[in-house]
Structure 1
């Protein structure tokens, strides 16, 4: 692991640009270690296009800290905010931003002039706005919100800037309130789960309520998109840092958990899997079990057509559960070739080569789509997490020169 991030005083010296950038840093030079010349090493390295390739943690952090003459672009800000938390907590990071702001305000007498204070405010506001909008869940902690108000208190210069800060805090509170209501609603749904339905001697359940597999597949896509949209980028980093991706569904689901929405999403997958099995097993007559199996096979096929691979995998998993697969007489009446095609998507051989090929075809369709209905891709979440974990493990390993591999982090 890299050494801890240095003090704000040393970070300040690492800034290379002298004007606010619009996305491309000043690449005429690299940032050098201010230490003795015998131990001097390049602390940020750029490619020929001027993009950061790698850098030391302290130097990369310095690229993220605004001054009156410099502000990182949104892409740089988001990348560093998300990835530096592998080495420093968001609360400590925001504290460093506050200390940096205080230092900048008092480092030069020019900073007390209104013009300079105005530039400092705009750059700091731009940075805080990007943080609060791209990773709002960081500010669920009241201390984080208090620290943000302290930063604004240092930068505000008149009633106009005060109003901008008030508006930003209102948007942040609205976002966090929405999250809180959403999580409460999900917890309420889980608490009100009914007992397993009783058996029936006629066609009942989802197949009877909505005979169209396409409509069911579309509605499943809506549910998937809603739940996936509530997963914060920071939650991915938290679960990847833990290294316990196989235990996601077993973590305690308390309201203070930092991966709550990922847990809810995993739970949704398991609920859909159990629903499929329950819908089949609740029928006492064989012909209705056959109809229900065939119905869910068609729903799974439509899930592929709408680009919903997570529901596809959940349905196929439900059809493959032992209580369902042991119904030999029922399966003798089902055309198994359709199911085998779907089960092939779950084949782990070749690192899920079949699923990845189907997903790639969906991406091609997405890129050439002209209708909004065709612009949906919901990946198999379980495999996505595993892929991200492997990528994360490579990214946190320092390069031979001690740098973070910034290019991979993007």
Structure 2
């Protein structure tokens, strides 16, 4: 049988740059497999490259003498949601699994039409033997689905189908009943942990909003002096850049760990405007954990900018700047590229970059090196080189510390977005372009490896609480810009007009 390739092989890496595609992703240069009768599946150089959706679904479902390759399972479950909703796929898997147990393996013969043919019914003893061969394989498929894509099962329709199928599998044998129980318990445990995480995010967000409201409620007639008096920055809590970088890494790895691989694909799914079933794609949280992670990046960027702009004294602002530069450098050394980029982004915001008198007091050589590493030119060539180095270090690491790879997340999403948009999901023949999905799965699989790393650093609750809940000026940029002007006055008429407008709107409560 033609084999599904491991992710290390397959199509070319996408990491060399957005817009560099494997030309085969666009073309159906495939030929039908001749050594198996897989109707609707097409191979090129022993590599599955396209197929009809129905054939790909059949290829997913185990039979008495067949179990799909794990890379295929991951790739299809990840990408199929571009064509079929997970609960619809689950219903189809349940149907085929039941028919395979009852009727043997007709789809291995490439004839789905004969699945319902009563002439294929065998004797009860043969059916029982076949069922016992297939049952553990179906359970294994369901286990892989629930472990890798547990968020799919927050849908009641998914749980209903899963329950029906597992009850049927567990009805005839004590061993299967035990396995079904373990599967269900593991899934419920993962969903419970997810629910607790989401509740914690809501509480953290509420605490941050409350602290910001408290800061803004202070009298404004003293301008930045008032804000500074009520604002405690990170430097006053911890002056060790390495310790702060460790705590940032704690937050990054925790939030990464809750992002489901399917969220990368579901972020691209567009609801059909002709679809009146409002409970289908519009009801589930398509990419809520992915969105929460992006929100974290934005929060960190604005926190850096806020803590630089608020202090009244130029010397203090310069110290905060140098401190965050050192934190960013430690993040780079750890392999935490997301926090690194968030800090650089915060320091490059206009309210910070305009503080020329403050920048004059800062030794910027280290910052210049970091900016060079994250330079966006040539499609972030320098960063991608550093990322490859960190990835290689991770592969040969002997300690958790060396395994840490936290990518610049916005760029990862951008890469996947361009892969999805730049390569057709269906070929002109109407077949699913599976080569595209091998590449998509390859990149998401690498992310899955990164997110499983356990953070080796000790937690510091005080630092974590500050990072997650400290007041941050971010909603519309007005408060941040005003703090910047209060710290270093306007330099030209345009800035003076802007300053007056900001003070006026702030005093009037606009």
Aligned partner of 2:152 in structure 1 is 138
Aligned residue-pair number: 370
Contact (CA 8 Å) 1:82, 1:237: kept in 2 or not?
yes
Aligned partner of 1:118 in structure 2 is 132
Residue range with higher mean Cα deviation, 221-230 or 113-122: 113-122
**Pairing partner for 1:392 from 400, 404, 420:** 420
Q: Which runs of 5+ in 1 are unaligned?
A: 1-15, 34-41, 244-253
Residue range with higher mean Cα deviation, 353-362 or 320-329: 353-362
Counterpart secondary structure, 2:269:
helix
1:364 maps to 2:403: no
Alpha-carbon shift at residue 155 of structure 1 (Å):
2.4
Residue range with higher mean Cα deviation, 190-199 or 379-388: 190-199
Contact (CA 8 Å) 2:425, 2:436: kept in 1 or not?
no
Superposed CA deviations along residues 354-397 of structure 1, whole A, max 9, x for unmatched, are 22222223223333433321111111111100101112234543
Aligned partner of 2:492 in structure 1 is none
Aligned partner of 1:43 in structure 2 is 41
Aligned partner of 1:280 in structure 2 is 308
1:60 maps to 2:56: yes
Question: Counterparts of 2:267 and 2:49 in 1: how far apart (Å)?
Answer: 26
Question: Counterparts of 2:387 and 2:135 in 1: how far apart (Å)?
Answer: 45
**Pairing partner for 2:203 from 164, 176, 188:** 188
Question: Counterparts of 2:97 and 2:320 in 1: how far apart (Å)?
Answer: 63
**Pairing partner for 1:83 from 71, 79, 82:** 79
Aligned partner of 1:161 in structure 2 is 176
**Pairing partner for 2:358 from 309, 315, 330:** 330
Higher RCO (C-alpha under 8 Å, 6+ residues apart): 2
Aligned partner of 1:378 in structure 2 is 406
Contact (CA 8 Å) 1:347, 1:354: kept in 2 or not?
yes
Cα gap change, 1:98 to 1:320, in 2 (>3 Å): same
Q: Which runs of 5+ in 2 are unaligned?
A: 7-32, 104-120, 216-225, 272-281, 439-510
Counterpart secondary structure, 2:268:
helix
Alpha-carbon shift at residue 97 of structure 1 (Å):
1.1
Superposition pairs of residues 9-408 of structure 1, within 5 angstroms = 29-31=35-37, 33=39, 43-48=41-46, 51-107=47-103, 108-110=121-123, 113-156=127-170, 157-193=172-208, 194-195=211-212, 199-200=227-228, 205-242=233-270, 256-408=284-436
Counterpart secondary structure, 1:44:
strand
Residue range with higher mean Cα deviation, 230-239 or 360-369: 360-369
Cα gap change, 1:324 to 1:126, in 2 (>3 Å): same
Question: Counterparts of 2:4 and 2:174 in 1: how far apart (Å)?
Answer: 27
Alpha-carbon shift at residue 308 of structure 1 (Å):
0.6
Question: Counterparts of 1:111 and 1:275 in 2: how far apart (Å)?
Answer: 69
Alpha-carbon shift at residue 43 of structure 1 (Å):
2.8
Counterpart secondary structure, 1:240:
coil
Contact (CA 8 Å) 1:395, 1:409: kept in 2 or not?
no
Contact (CA 8 Å) 2:242, 2:330: kept in 1 or not?
yes
Question: Counterparts of 2:259 and 2:404 in 1: how far apart (Å)?
Answer: 17
Runs of 4+ that moved beyond 6 A: 21-24
Question: Counterparts of 1:393 and 1:77 in 2: how far apart (Å)?
Answer: 23
Question: Counterparts of 2:57 and 2:246 in 1: how far apart (Å)?
Answer: 43
Alpha-carbon shift at residue 110 of structure 1 (Å):
4.5
Superposed CA deviations along residues 34-72 of structure 1, whole A, max 9, x for unmatched, are xxxxxxxx6321524xx4233332222211012233221
Contact (CA 8 Å) 1:86, 1:396: kept in 2 or not?
no
Counterpart secondary structure, 2:259:
coil
Cα gap change, 1:135 to 1:280, in 2 (>3 Å): same
Question: Counterparts of 1:171 and 1:409 in 2: how far apart (Å)?
Answer: 28
Cα gap change, 1:138 to 1:201, in 2 (>3 Å): closer
Question: Counterparts of 2:42 and 2:37 in 1: how far apart (Å)?
Answer: 5
Cα gap change, 1:146 to 1:30, in 2 (>3 Å): same
Cα gap change, 1:184 to 1:344, in 2 (>3 Å): same
Question: Counterparts of 2:132 and 2:394 in 1: how far apart (Å)?
Answer: 44
Cα gap change, 1:394 to 1:123, in 2 (>3 Å): farther
RMSD between superposed Cα atoms in Å: 2.7
Superposed CA deviations along residues 116-140 of structure 1, whole A, max 9, x for unmatched, are 2211211111111111111010000
Alpha-carbon shift at residue 104 of structure 1 (Å):
2.4
Counterpart secondary structure, 1:192:
helix
